[in-house]
Amino acid sequence: MSTSTASRPVPAARDNHVRWRLPVRLRKTVLVVHVGSAGAWIGIDVVSALLVLIGWTRSGDGRTTTYQALADLFVVPMLYAALAAGVVCLLTGVLLGLATKWGLVRYWWVAVKLVLNVLACAMMLAFLGPITELSTGEQPLQDIWFVAFLASTAMALLSFAMVLSVFKPWGRIRK
């Protein structure tokens, strides 16, 4: 009778230790919500940028009317929707970080994504006031650059976060 040593699964290294795990279906659901909210956030930013470009193509009273309509009907509500999507993305990202091997501050790419998300949400909060003033006419319409800056910066930050999610660069923060 020969004894063969069957390969046994090796226990996970301490580095990949997760304090608690989400059940598979719940983890996948949270991941779908995370990716969906990030996609919605990017989509809202793209639409906001296009609306600002439409306003810039107008001149005189047409420009004023366009910007007021954009601010009242589109930009402010979309900004609130983007903020909601950003908060959902942040919360689901933190939950995934805590409940997966990636952790919140175990890998550089995850930590950078967390900072980018918080920064983008803070930017939206900071710009809500000036944009709301713009829609009420309290601020000159030349200051629409706030919306353009917000949309383009958010698109750049969110696109970079998406690239980080795919390529996962830079390795671990500490061993």
Instruction: Specify if 172 maps to a domain.
Output: no
Q: 41-74, pLDDT tens digit by residue? A: 888 888 877 777 777 777 767 666 766 776 676 6
Return d(Cα 69, Cα 55) in angstroms, integer: 10
Quick: pLDDT tens for 14-43. Answer: 556 667 788 999 999 999 999 999 999 888
How many structural domains does the chain have?
1
- Residue 63 included in any domain: yes
Nearest-angstrom CA–CA distance, 127 and 145: 11
Would you say 81 and 44 are in contact if contact means Cβ atoms under 8 Å apart? Answer: yes
Question: Is the CB of residue 163 less than 8 Å from the CB of residue 64?
Answer: no
How many other CB atoms sit within 10 Å of the CB of residue 76? 18
What pLDDT does 136 receive?
64
Of 51, 165, 46, 40, give the one whose Cα is nearest residue 108: 165
3-state secondary structure of 32: helix
- In this structure, is residue 122 part of a structural domain? yes
pLDDT band, very low/low/confident/very high, at 131 (cuts 50, 70, 90): low
Sign of CA dihedral 102, 103, 108, 114: positive
Supply the pLDDT for residue 8. Answer: 43
- The answer to whether position 159 is within a domain reads yes
Does residue 2 belong to any structural domain of this protein? no
Torsion of CA 24, 25, 31, 36, to 10 degrees: 170
Evaluate if pTM is beyond 0.85: no
Backbone angles phi, psi at 107, to 5 degrees: -120, 145
Judge whether 126 lies within some domain: yes
Nearest to 117 by CA among 104, 128, 130: 104
The SS3 of residue 98 is helix
Residue 12 covered by a domain: no
Give the pLDDT confidence score for residue 95 in this predicted structure. 94
Q: What is the pLDDT of residue 12?
A: 46
Distance of CA 60 to the CA centre of its chain: 35
- By CB atoms closer than 10 A (0-12, 13-18, 19+), residue 152 is middle
Per the structure, the complete domain to which residue 129 belongs is given by 22-167
In a domain, 77, yes or no: yes
